[in-house]
Amino acid sequence: MKKSSWLLAMMCACVMSCSNNDDNNPTPTIDPQAPTTGTWRVTLFTDSGKDETSDFTGYSFTFDSNGTAVATKGSTSKDGTWSIGSSSRDFNLNFGAKSDANKPLGELTDDWEIISVTATEIKLKDDNDDSDEFLTFNQN
């Protein structure tokens, strides 16, 4: 009996000491030049789990290599800024304050965490996990 208890204790210790190689913060796929090519549209925007993508219907976005961003809807445009942080994990976007007067573009102003940036898609999540915000741009 003592032998089986000892064996069970050793097995538990081995299992508990094994490391899980899952990387909880994997390096994102990034093409830093991708945003500067063509025009983009919001294909996903969720805030606190609520899908608000339709708020951006009709908007087209351009990201210039000098860090300027422009959101255009019809004949109206709003200037902003963008950058990829030095850690290559941050996508900083600023279209002004989050206010009723600046909806919906102010909702995009944030320090986003990059999930991936490719030639045709930019996938982001809020750097604050409690906010449960996700943003995806696809190239037009």
**CATH number, domain with residue 47:** 2.40.128.270
Report yes or no on whether pTM surpasses 0.95.
no
Residue 99: predicted pLDDT: 86
Task: Decide if 26 is inside a domain.
Answer: no
Is the pLDDT at 24 greater than 80? The verdict is: no
Which domain, by its residues, includes 120? 39-139
pLDDT by residue (tens digit) across 71-128? 999 999 999 999 988 777 899 999 999 888 789 999 999 999 999 888 899 999 998 8
What are φ and ψ of residue 33, in 5° steps?
Answer: -90, -20
Is residue 134 included in any domain, yes or no? yes
CA distance 64 to 71: 12
User: Is residue 15, in this structure, part of any structural domain at all?
Assistant: no
**Does any domain span residue 28?**
no
How many structural domains is the chain composed of?
1
CB contact set of 122 (below 8 Å; sequence gap of 6+): 34, 35, 40, 91, 114, 116, 136, 137, 138
Q: Where are the beta strands (DSSP E) in the chain?
A: 29-30, 40-47, 50-51, 60-63, 68-73, 76-84, 90-94, 110-117, 121-126, 134-139
- Asked if the structure places residue 101 within a domain, the reply is yes
31 within a domain of the structure (yes/no): no
pLDDT above 90: residue 139: yes
